[in-house]
Chains A and B, each alone.
Chain A
Amino acid sequence: MTRLFDKTFWGLTIGLVALFALNFLLEEWMRSIGLQSLSRGCVAIGLLVLWRTGLVSFGHALFFGFGAYTVAMLQIIGVNDIILLLIGGCATAGLLALVLGFLLRQYRAIFFALLNMAFSMILYGVLAKVEALGSTDGIGINQVSFFGFVPSDDSYRPTLFIFAVIFAYIAAVGSHWYLKSTLGLMTMAVRENEIRVEYLGYSAEKAIHIKYVLSGVLAGMGGVIMALTIGHVDPDSMVYWTVSGDFVFITILAGTGNVGATFIGALVYELLRTYAFEFAPEIWQLILGGSLLLIIMFLPDGLWSIRSEWRNRRALAAAKSGDAPAGE
């Protein structure tokens, strides 16, 4: 736990290398699935951070959409390099989260979830009407350059994939390290007992605010990747409340035990969606909803809970067999 370079870090790094290698083998449709998983995975990491704080947002499509539409707007004014678009998308989403955070940090439970949803639906209502951004039809996203480099048409998607993998890797490792820091551990502390956090000398609201901004930035990043992946942004597939629902779905699917697991969850979700949609278009929502129900019913906190329960029992047994002075 002391070291930064722990199992999760190495797992993520191996994943990074493996994806680089895979990039040469992947067919385009697989790469698309990969890109979308990376995008949604980034958002889900943000939700994981909030979830560990005891908060669920039903409106993170707000920041996702903000990131995606920032790409569109930057392209309109002529900015077309991936790194600038990424910084722009993360910055605007983060800024929005910073501002809204002053309000949202005062809310908990269902109110937090719904207030987020309200804000995301406001953005939806606005985007659906803004002609300059294509209203409900949305607007196309052009191919971008990579640090000034413009790949040939054949190598455009593989290059995009490489960059998306790197961005997601940075997001994942950064979040993982963050979660191990004092500030990161505050997620658990705030969820478990805000009074205690206050009496230890830290502001629970401030801790929530920081996490909220982080989750906003990550969702913005996901939005940027998604915009570049599909080459198109529109309110229905970027900002509508069901989009937020999908993110929460992935968070539950992956469990909140590990940052790396989030990408696996996002991939499973993407595959589920793609295959269900392909082979059983009438019942793909049924399959999605059904699997969500099974997870909620039978794996409440993901596999992690089983592990810690078992650890706990062992420790208690050990404590009892020794002589415990402080009474039962």
Chain B
Amino acid sequence: MLKIDSVSKTFHAGTVNEVRALQDVSLSIEDGCFTGIIGTNGSGKSTLLNAVAGTFTPDAGSIHLAGHDITRWPEYKRAALIGRVFQDPFAGTAPDMSIAENIAIAMKRGQHRSFGFAVTRAFKDDVADRVRTLKMGLEDRLDNPIGTLSGGQRQALTLLMAVWTRPKLLLLDEHTAALDPKSAAKVAELTKIIIAREKLTALMVTHSMQQAVDLPDRIIMMHRGAIVEDYQDERKQRVRVPDLMATFDRVQKRELFDESVAGMLKAQYC
């Protein structure tokens, strides 16, 4: 289970560029729950995922995962519990190393890296079996550098690498956004299958309302560094794309209203 408790993060605090990217965010995710995160640009979705992944330590609050208080753990240590796929298809793999070598690195996540050979015959057979499930024909190209593959293929492999050791949590940050529509659909499909098959706990940021409705078990909407909506269980079952759009509008109107009220008050009292 993932438990985020009153986490706040302000970038460039005390300067004109101050951004309150996360404001007192709390969120609990049960084991085996696949949660989608939607929200406008700059609403703090990536920042929330990065806080969990350990890219930075939050200014306040705590983060617990699978019974560990990971708030102060460095990023590489959290990787023992967390698998990640980034938006950039180039971010998750080492381009000049082979498919098999990249997977060998992922296989040892959270374990001691010994002086034994990384890519053995037996390991390659295992890799071929699992890569075959992607249905991309990559099982015949295990010795090719990953840099020679398409973005969609790389992203599918990164996903496979992220779940290789069955992490306690899978973080996906718009991992289909940089792909062409066909590859995006394929990777989204794989995501759904793999998460269901491995019964993974996952957090997925997406810009696609349709994806948010189709894939996850729960949807969270963020705005200005806070969680403003949370669709769970039955409400999630019923929600459709137009409902999400309507909620977006409502959130934005409320903000406009707040701003105009603030403006009025300012005009009156200052």
Tell me if chain B binds chain A.
no
